[in-house]
Amino acid sequence: MSIMDSNTKKTRLPSPLDDDLSNDKEHYGRIRVGKDYQVPVPTFSPPTESAQGLPDMALQVWCPTDKLSDVKLSNYLLAAKEKFGYKEEQSLGMLLWHQHSLKDAITDLANFMPCPDEWTMKDKILFEQAFQFHGKNFYGIRTMLPEKKIAQLVKYYYMWKKTRNSKSLIDKYQTRKKMKAMKNGEDSLDIDEDMSDSELPNEKKWKPGCQQKAPVPSTRHNESQGEGFCSNCHIHCSNCYSTPKGKMCASCQMHFKRTGTLRPTMANDVNTLSVLKLRKNPPKGMYLNHDDLSLLSINAQANAVLSNLSREVVSCKHTIQLNKQLISALLEQQSKLGSSIGKYRADPVAKTPTISTNWNSAEMSFAVHGIHKYGKNFKAIAEVMETKTETHIKHFYNKYKNYYNLDTLLTENDPGNCIMDTGDGKS
């Protein structure tokens, strides 16, 4: 019995065995026989009522019910989540506890506070630092976060792992810088070794540091009089003030009013073309608004604002995926319908009478057959053919009379033998 390292498992060469099954190669693994290896098998007793009374050995936390409609259930879950922050499992557990009585469950929701596995900003930063230092050695990380259990660390790690790039600007900035050093120029997508498969494709390079934000071509552009870009710090703001030095945002205008000079910004010399080139656009769809920024910096509850926003983002993503599911379901339905309609359509499609003067070969042979069958009853032929009028057929007859020897066909024709045949012209 070989004990293999996980790596050796992977790197083992494919089987060298040939296809001969009966080769007398030595087994290199053996199932051992003996009382040290086999298990004594319990005696069988026929299932009786006693089996029904066996303990469950597990705690039931949810059981589906016919009593509630899907819509009602979803509404309940949504309410529990938005009002009290319950997770779906928790709310369903509550519902089961109240024997699927929605009313009781809703009233009871307020009595409990789902205890969130809260990570403070400080913890998060500490974790990030510890992770940089120790990697995935959670014992090591724990020395820096002693009040957390390993289990909590592992749980947080998996949550954080894939989202860290969108959360940690510093991280992002560093990878950008690395990338830039590697490939000079080119506006390429960033590929982080960890995020290679989840990077949003529309995330373009941009530099942190809001002072250098370039004017954003947004729809709000110059909509109202007061709105526009500050000529000093180049940030979009909803209220611009005209000054002798041009439009300015509230902060710059205040500074100008007080000191009579332009507020010093990092982007003082933006007017030169070279600097303009350096400016990077923020990610597509991201609008930096001066007012929002100032609100964030003033508001003591900035974190709450942010977390509200991120919750909103998550619910938007939920909706996006739901819509995608809906779309693909509809598409599937459509293609199904399309194929099933096709069966019925086969005839009608062929019959859609689009009368044209051009003769194709099928029509021509059809007409010949028609003449063979119906003689000079051009009207009948036209009715059967549908794509030609009576006069068309007449013309055809006159034109090809000699070529197809139509007159001989006419003489062959036995009027008593006119089977209504809608033949396809090839028979």
Partner 1 sequence: MAQSVHSKKRVCYYYDSDIGNYYYGQGHPMKPHRIRMTHNLLLNYGLYRKMEIYRPHKATAEEMTKFHSDEYIKFLRSIRPDNMSEYNKQMQRFNVGEDCPVFDGLYEFCQLSAGGSVAAAVKLNKQASEICINWGGGLHHAKKSEASGFCYVNDIVLGILELLKYHQRVLYIDVDVHHGDGVEEAFYTTDRVMTVSFHKYGEYFPGTGDLRDIGAGKGKYYAVNIPLRDGMDDESYESIFVPIISKVMETFQPSAVVLQCGADSLTGDRLGCFNLTVRGHGKCVEFVKRYNLPFLMVGGGGYTIRNVSRCWTYETSVALGSEIANELPYNDYFEYFGPDFKLHISPSNMANQNTPEYLEKIKTRLFENLRMLPHAPGVQVQAIPEDGIRDDSGGEDEDKESPDERNPQSARDKRIVPDNEFSDSEDEGPPGSNRKDHRNFKGAAGTTPNRKRPRLDPKTGMTTDGTLLDAKQGSGPPDVEMKEDKDDKSGGASGVEKKEVPVTTV
**Which of positions 147-206 make contact with partner 1 (CB under 8 A)?**
150-152, 154-155, 158-159, 162-163, 195, 197-199
Query: How near is the Cβ of 343 to partner 1 at its closest, in Å?
Result: 19
Q: Does 89 bind partner 1 (CB under 8 A)?
A: yes
Q: Does 354 bind partner 1 (CB under 8 A)?
A: no
Q: Does 403 bind partner 1 (CB under 8 A)?
A: no
Q: Exactly one of 189, 296, 309, 322 binds partner 1 (CB under 8 A); which one? A: 322
CB atoms within 10 A of CB 43: 5
Q: Exactly one of 57, 115, 300, 419 binds partner 1 (CB under 8 A); which one? A: 57
Q: Exactly one of 46, 116, 185, 285 binds partner 1 (CB under 8 A); which one? A: 46
Which of the stretches 132-140, 222-230, 284-292, 340-348 binds partner 1 when contact is defined by CB under 8 A?
Answer: 132-140
Query: How near is the Cβ of 44 to partner 1 at its closest, in Å?
Result: 5
Phi first, then psi, for residue 277 (nearest 5°) are -65, -35
> What is the distance between the alpha carbons of residues 121 and 64, in angstroms, rounded to a whole number?
39
Count the site residues for partner 1 by CB under 8 A.
Answer: 79
Query: How near is the Cβ of 133 to partner 1 at its closest, in Å?
Result: 13
Contact criterion met (CB below 8 Å) for 247 and 229: yes
Smaller CB separation from partner 1, 13 or 300 = 13
Q: Exactly one of 86, 119, 127, 138 binds partner 1 (CB under 8 A); which one? A: 138
Question: Position 219: which residue type?
Answer: T
Smaller CB separation from partner 1, 167 or 221 = 167
> What is the distance between the alpha carbons of residues 405 and 20, in angstroms, rounded to a whole number?
72
Query: How near is the Cβ of 194 to partner 1 at its closest, in Å?
Result: 10
Smaller CB separation from partner 1, 95 or 384 = 95
CB atoms within 10 A of CB 233: 25
Q: Exactly one of 174, 310, 325, 340 binds partner 1 (CB under 8 A); which one? A: 325
Q: Does 85 bind partner 1 (CB under 8 A)?
A: no
The distance of Cα 235 from the centroid of its chain, to the nearest Å, equals 32
284: its two tokens = 């597509």
Q: Which of residues 2-41 bind partner 1 (CB under 8 A)?
A: 2-6, 9-10, 12-17, 19, 21, 27-33, 36-39, 41
> What is the distance between the alpha carbons of residues 102 and 109, in angstroms, rounded to a whole number?
10
Q: Does 110 bind partner 1 (CB under 8 A)?
A: no
Question: Position 326: which residue type?
Answer: L
Q: Does 300 bind partner 1 (CB under 8 A)?
A: no
Q: Does 125 bind partner 1 (CB under 8 A)?
A: no
Smaller CB separation from partner 1, 41 or 182 = 41
229 has which bridge partners? Answer: 236
> What is the distance between the alpha carbons of residues 196 and 191, in angstroms, rounded to a whole number?
5
Phi first, then psi, for residue 248 (nearest 5°) are -140, 155
Q: Does 118 bind partner 1 (CB under 8 A)?
A: no
Q: Does 92 bind partner 1 (CB under 8 A)?
A: yes
Residue burial 278-291, b: 16+ Cβ < 10 Å; e: rest = eebebeeeeeeebe
Query: How near is the Cβ of 108 to partner 1 at its closest, in Å?
Result: 19
CB atoms within 10 A of CB 68: 15
Q: Which of 234, 292, 238 is nearest to 262 (CA)?
A: 234
Q: Which of residues 202-261 bind partner 1 (CB under 8 A)?
A: none
241 has which bridge partners? Answer: 248
> What is the distance between the alpha carbons of residues 118 and 108, in angstroms, rounded to a whole number?
23
Q: Exactly one of 275, 329, 337, 362 binds partner 1 (CB under 8 A); which one? A: 329
> What is the distance between the alpha carbons of residues 36 and 41, in angstroms, rounded to a whole number?
14
